Structures are given as structure tokens and as C-alpha cells.
Structure 1
């Protein structure tokens, strides 16, 4: 399924790619093309979830603004898996 990211979502993905240090380069490359496998979706969602836990929540465990952006990114990336 074709995925389309906003410019801001692309910025977040690029930041995550850098933090990942090339370990999941193929998943990030395919995401840039808008074509990811279910396995790659799982990998990317795991990375986004980890980022959310480290940077996306307030001390009250509510999402901060960045956390809300990460949640929206998860929704976009995870959509093909939920639709099947």
C-alpha cells in the first residue's frame, strides 16, 4: 500500500533514521518510496514507539506536542497493517 507522509512527518522519519544509525536502512528507504512491507511496518512502528517513550511524553504520562506528532505518524505507517 502506498504511504504518503507530510513534510513534518518526513523530518521526523529522517531524525529517526539518523538515530537508528543505519540498522534499518532498507525499511527507511522503502518508507521514503512509500512502499513498505508488513515486516518493515512493524520495525518502523517499534522505532517510533521507542522514540515516543523517550521523547514524546510529559511527566504526567500524557503526550507532549512531539508525542502527538509521533502518534499521527504511527497512524499513517500502521494503516496498511490495520486495513488488511
Structure 2
């Protein structure tokens, strides 16, 4: 399933790919192709969640603007799990 990513979501994924330093290249590549497996989706969701915890929340534990963007991206990627096996 090919995801309809916004330019901003693509930018966030590019940044996460750089931070990941090549450890999960196939997960990022397959997401772009629309062919990510459930385990690759899990990997990407874990990376997004980690980014959210480090950069996406305010001292009050509410999401900042970037955190809201990460939540939206996470929702979009997770939605592909509901569509059935890849």
C-alpha cells in the first residue's frame, strides 16, 4: 500500500533515516515503495515514537508542534497495518 505522504512527512522520514544511520535502510526503502512488512512498520513506528519522546513533547508532556506532526505520521503509517498483510 503506497502511502500519501505530505512533503513535510517525507522530510521527517528523511531526517529519521539520517538519524538511524543506515540501520534500517530496507524499512525506509520499502515504505517509500509501498511494500513495508508488518515488522518494518513496527521498526519505523519505534523510530517515530523515540523521536517523539526526545523531540516532540513540551515540559508539560503535551506534544509540541513537531510532536503533533510525528503523531500524524505515526497514525498514517499504522493505518497501513489495518489494511492487511503487505
The Cα shift of 1:36 comes to 1.1
Q: Between 34-43 and 68-77, report the one with greater CA deviation.
A: 34-43
Runs of 4+ in 1 over 4 A off after TM superposition: none
**1:42 equivalent in structure 2:** 42
CA contact (8 A) 2:41 2:77 kept: yes
Task: Note if 1:17 corresponds to 2:17.
Answer: yes
CA contact (8 A) 2:2 2:32 kept: no
TM-score under structure 1 normalisation?
0.94
CA contact (8 A) 1:45 1:78 kept: yes
Q: Distance in 1 between matches of 2:15 and 2:34?
A: 17
Question: Unpaired segments of 5 or more residues in structure 2?
Answer: none
TM-score under structure 2 normalisation?
0.92
Match runs of 1:1-84 below 5 Å: 1-84=1-84
Q: Residue 68 of structure 2: SS of its match in structure 1?
A: helix
CA RMSD for the aligned pairs? Answer: 1.0
Between Structure 1 and Structure 2, how many residues are aligned?
84
Question: Unpaired segments of 5 or more residues in structure 1?
Answer: none
